[in-house]
Amino acid sequence: MKIAKLSDILGIINKIAPPGLAESWDNSGLQLGDPTAAVSRIMVALDATPAVVESALASSCHLLVTHHPLIFKPQKSISTATPQGRLIHAAIKGGLAIISIHTSYDIASGGLNDLLARRLGVGGCVPLRPSPSPELVKLVAFVPKEHLERVRTALFPHAENLGAYRDCSFAATGEGTFTPLDDATPFIGTVGSLERVPERRLELLVCRSGLGRAVKALVAAHPYEEPAFDVYPLLNEGEKLGLGRVGRLERPVSLADFAARVGERLPAPGLRYVGDPAAMVEKVALCSGSGASLLRDAVRSGADCLLTGDVKYHDARDAEDLGIALIDAGHFSSEHIMVADVGERLQSMLTESGYPDCEVLPCRVEYDPFRYCQAQ
Ligand SMILES: [Zn+2]
């Protein structure tokens, strides 16, 4: 039975929420933990609250995956005199690592905003505020044929998806030559004589921001003392990604009916909305969490309504002035759906990666901190 290390799990989580996608102000990724530590139980939650950390420790978890970052601002001290300090101490004492996926997962194809759109029947989505396309490079490595699969498998977590396809690579047959010099310790061949080796030319697309990690994985998996590899800049445009989504409902419905649908399907017991209840909604912009700042992007996209959380009074007045409907489903309700999604995807990717005994549990103790009068 293969035992997963925290670094193995991080590699898998990076496929769900690629770190290169995170907004510059964000702090997603590994928050706390020893990358070499063994992990056989994982909990997924929206926030690393004291109750969540306590639940993860009581369930003998070694890793907590959260949406919101544990550490958002630089810390000057980690003291048990503060709530966050106590939480960090408790996690370290209990051997609990924490990884947060935040804006990487918000923006990722198949991430939180795509999940929200699917849940609400909004199809044909494109990003509401597109990010600049990621810079892509082609990584080409020359590998002895017996080691092709080992090197290819090590590089898959770093390869870019092609649309809905992951693990994309190409390998061609060829012959490598080299003469080991006096100070070499060759894996194949002898010092001073020309060696000819059947090799494979392995090619993968890699995001420029992840190239360093990919080369490190290549060098670790390659049998040669000096693996040969090339990096080519590409003119290909990467996948169009960005904050929020805009798409269409299968058929137009009234704003009141769409709001009721959102309230039911998330569920969102504290939902409120701005606009004429009888106005028809077909094109929908959405952004999980706090997305009222995307109101003008929603207007530019031609959407009939923007659905998000954390809407303020003046956002509501702006929406009225701009003639767009605005639905506030609540920060918690628009994002808590990530717990089941990330849990299920992580579990199936762990099984595919040869760690079927590594168990993923959804956190059961989270709740919306806001109480809504009509729901009581
Ligand atoms: Zn959030």
Average pLDDT estimate for 276-303 = 98
Tell me, what DSSP letter sits at residue 20? G
- pLDDT (0 to 100) of residue 376: 47
CA distances from 135 to 205, 232, 288, 371 (A): 10, 11, 26, 45
| Residue at 369: amino acid letter | P
115-144 tens-digit pLDDT: 999 999 999 999 999 887 778 899 999 999
pTM of the predicted model as reported, rounded to 2 decimal places:
0.78
According to DSSP H, which parts of 192-294 are helical?
A: 211-221, 255-265
* Ligand 1 centroid from CA 335, angstroms: 6
* Ligand 1 centroid from CA 213, angstroms: 28
* Ligand 1 centroid from CA 153, angstroms: 33
Q: Which domains does the chain have, with CATH numbers?
A: 4-104+337-362 (3.40.1390.30), 112-131+242-334 (3.40.1390.30), 136-233 (3.30.70.120)
Residues in the chain: 376
Give φ, ψ of 19 to 5 degrees.
Answer: -60, -30
Percent of the chain past pLDDT 90, that is, above it, reads 83
Instruction: Locate 108 and state its tokens.
Output: 């990722």
- pLDDT (0 to 100) of residue 375: 52
Average pLDDT estimate for 211-220 = 94
Instruction: Locate 113 and state its tokens.
Output: 């905003």
Query: Distance (Å, rounded) from C-alpha 136 to C-alpha 125?
Result: 23
Give φ, ψ of 368 to 5 degrees.
Answer: -70, 125
Name the residues around ion ligand 1, CB cutoff 5 A.
289, 335
Evaluate if residue 39 carries a pLDDT over 80. Answer: yes
Instruction: Locate 66 and state its tokens.
Output: 């959260």
Pairing of strands 41-45, 63-66: parallel
